[in-house]
Amino acid sequence: MMPSNIVSNNTSSKLFPRVSASIRPNFKKWFGSFTLKSLNWALAGTLALELSLSGPGLADAKVGVNKPELLPEEFSPLIDVAGFLSTGQEYRIIQEIVNLEKDTGFKLRVLAQNYPDTPGLAVKDYWQVDDKTIVFVADPAFGNILNFNVGALVDLDVPRSFWSRLAGKYGNMFYWKEKGEDASVEAAVLAISRCLREPVGQNNCSEIE
């Protein structure tokens, strides 16, 4: 168990020895002024743990998972292996993601999972994750359901506090247990879309509706 106020680079490097060189340098810049409790469990087996953002909580880091057989045969920006979403919700979220990428150039990718039932590392190549990608992992296993991997170029435009505030509002256990996991996922996608569409400035993404 790691101390609650430290995200261990040594732990993540053991789980992910081949993190992309284009992503790794952003780690020190990101966490130099941003302290989080260790919630790397939700993204273990998904992408580089160094860029994990999540709501409050504490859990052990999990062993990496790589199950490409759980990926859809046809490309989709949304993968719901947990079965949280209805067909209608999946359609609405995919349309929102497609329109967001067309309008802004940012790539939002959503994975709904119940660890260890997840494609894990396989999504990196499947989604061609880069510095303009937000990987949103919805996993309720340890309380807060909202977890994010944020690319370096997204970091330049979106205030760092946005992700923790988003997780605090729509990812907390009281919210998703009352409203449902699907409601948390859909609300978070819409909030991210609104944020990325706002003009970059001192007050962008300051409100989460």
Task: State the CATH number of the domain containing residue 156.
Answer: 3.10.310.50
Question: Is 2 domain-assigned?
Answer: no
Question: Is 209 domain-assigned?
Answer: no
pLDDT higher than 70, residue 139: yes
Question: Is 40 domain-assigned?
Answer: yes
**Are 122 and 66 contacting, i.e. CB atoms less than 8 angstroms apart?**
yes
Question: Is 13 domain-assigned?
Answer: yes
| Cis check: omega of the bond before 116, within 30 degrees of 0 | yes
For 188, the domain range is 9-197
Does an H or E element contain 15, and which? Answer: helix 9-15
Domain count across the chain: 1
Question: Is 4 domain-assigned?
Answer: no
Q: How confident is the model at residue 190 (pLDDT cuts 50, 70, 90)?
A: very high
* Identity of the amino acid at 172: N
Question: Is 23 domain-assigned?
Answer: yes
13 alpha-carbon distance from chain centroid: 19
| Helix extents (H) in 36-180 | 87-104, 122-126, 152-157, 161-170, 173-179
Q: Give the tens place of pLDDT for each residue, 44-88.
A: 334 433 333 444 333 344 567 899 999 999 999 999 999 999 999
Question: Is 154 domain-assigned?
Answer: yes
pLDDT higher than 50, residue 17: no
Question: Is 208 domain-assigned?
Answer: no
